[in-house]
Structure 1
Amino acid sequence: MAQAMKVEEQTNQLLAAVAPEDFAFLAPHLELVALTRGQVLYEPGDVIHYAYFPHRAVISLVNVLNDGRTVEVGVFGRGAVMGLLSASTTRESFGRYVVQMSGSASRIPVDRLEEVRNARPKLRQLIAGYGKVLLAHTFQLLTCNAVHPVEARCCRWILMLHLHLGQDTLPLTHEFLAEMLGVQRSTVSAVTKTLQTAGLIRQNRGSITVTDWTGLEARTCECYGRILHIYRRLLRPTPDLPQDRSQP
């Protein structure tokens, strides 16, 4: 079990970037948990008790409107920690944190993480760098949703999901993409059909396989390259970022 835990922890790029002497202070408080698609970790206003470092899961932060519709405002995968920034301010969730892709994560009580962060300067610096990444990523995401066409945004979402999961076949449905992009399912179906006809993706029931990453990057907007640039500039210890051909 301990060996399995160690392997999973190395999947999260932030945990992998923690200095060994600092990780020794974190490890006793980390708990390996399984997250299932659709699981709600926090609703708006809930007190945040745990921060999550996803390994093989993707978590979205969505804003819940009065009519029940949701709009994605943040996404957390293997290069992220979820819940820490909210817990560091009001201790209340800004929105709904919902698991979009099933997988594992390490969770830690936010009180313990705060204690270790305050006591370990290198860890404090790493988490501060991630906070800048998250804010810049959110800024770019909001800009993208406001000004770029659906096809480019869809390509960006698929590329970013690959960044979070590190695999070519992605567990994506049209319904899920429509919810994340804030458009009708029929719009997503038309876009993915165009991408498949162009030989960029292959659609199967419940999944999309990318067959031409270079071609897909060429069809996305500048936001994908800018987001990668943000990660490289502000979070240099993070490994495994793909080569960026659209960097400004």
Structure 2
Amino acid sequence: MKRVQHPVRNRLLDALSAHDRGLLAHHAEAYGLEAGEILFEPGQDVLHVYFPGPGSIASLLLDLREGATAEAAMIGQEGAVGGIVSDGNKPAFARGAVQVAGTALRVPIEALEAAKQRSPTLRDHFARYADCLLAQVLQSVACNAVHDLDARLARWLLSTQDRIGGRDLRLTQQFIAEMLGVQRSYASRIIGDLEKKGIIATGRALVTIRDRRRLEGEACECYAYLRRHYQRVLPGVYPMPE
């Protein structure tokens, strides 16, 4: 992780008032994040909050006893990762990992908590985001329990595109399978079906969304539910598709 000098924009922070942004501005440092970089491990005290910039994606990951890894939440420019729900330095339950390289603003937990104490509106803003993050986790639980992989995969691709902001997603099929908690052969078959329908195209470590409207038709209702919840609780924060 290296400091960068250019500005980093984050939609969750941009939605704050100028006064509330000012409470955090002096504590926010911009960093470049590499794919695979670990932000914190389970059991570690979380000392910083990371606010991903456009195109950056981090995930909260859970390690299962049989060796598999499951994604509990995907976080991009609409949110923050690391201690956003707790008050102060609490041990992490999940691993925070960078999935798509980019940039992020990093703020010490102490600075965020002090700002919350000084501003009720800032405190309410982050409480609303915590509600949205919890909604994402709960929706994922229900989705994984009920919906078929083809619908889940379509939902996951749409969510990824929202955060990256373009048609080209630099992802391997192995990575997609790991995030969905399935074997690569299973995920590759579903990806192949979407490609045959002309909805996506694939290349080396690349998935291109060719027909987003049809991809939305392939996805389960969980995608639309979560977007509507964000719009109700934090209007304008969740990135709208192009």
Q: TM-score range by the shorter chain?
A: over 0.9
In structure 2, runs of 5+ residues without a counterpart are: none
Cα distance in structure 1, aligned partners of 2:4 and 2:66: 45
Counterpart of 1:94?
93
Q: Which moved more, 1:77-86 or 1:93-102?
A: 77-86
Counterpart of 1:220?
219
Counterpart of 2:17?
19
Q: Residue 4 of structure 1 aligns to a residue in which SS?
A: coil
> Contact conserved, 1:86 with 1:94, CA < 8 A, in 2?
no
Deviations 1:103-150 (A, max 9, x none): 100000000011011211221111111011111111101110111011
Compute the RMSD of aligned alpha carbons.
1.8
- CA drift of 1:21 comes to 1.2
Cα distance in structure 2, aligned partners of 1:84 and 1:18: 19
Cα distance in structure 2, aligned partners of 1:86 and 1:21: 22
1:36 paired residue among 9, 34, 37: 34
In structure 1, runs of 5+ residues without a counterpart are: 244-248
> Contact conserved, 1:51 with 1:109, CA < 8 A, in 2?
yes
Q: Residue 127 of structure 1 aligns to a residue in which SS?
A: helix
Counterpart of 1:246?
none
TM-score, length basis structure 2: 0.94
- CA drift of 1:68 comes to 2.7
Cα distance in structure 2, aligned partners of 1:221 and 1:68: 28
Counterpart of 1:136?
135
Equivalenced residues, count = 239
> Contact conserved, 2:78 with 2:239, CA < 8 A, in 1?
no
- CA drift of 1:85 comes to 3.2
Q: Which moved more, 1:64-73 or 1:39-48?
A: 64-73
Q: Which moved more, 1:229-238 or 1:106-115?
A: 229-238
> Contact conserved, 1:117 with 1:123, CA < 8 A, in 2?
yes
> Contact conserved, 1:44 with 1:95, CA < 8 A, in 2?
yes
Counterpart of 1:145?
144
TM-score, length basis structure 1: 0.92
Change (3 A) 1:2 1:20: farther
Moved over 4 A (4+): none
- CA drift of 1:88 comes to 2.4
Q: Are positions 1:127 and 2:126 aligned together?
A: yes
Letter in 2 for 1:42: F
Instruction: Report percent identity of matched pairs.
Output: 36
Cα distance in structure 2, aligned partners of 1:3 and 1:31: 9
- CA drift of 1:39 comes to 0.8
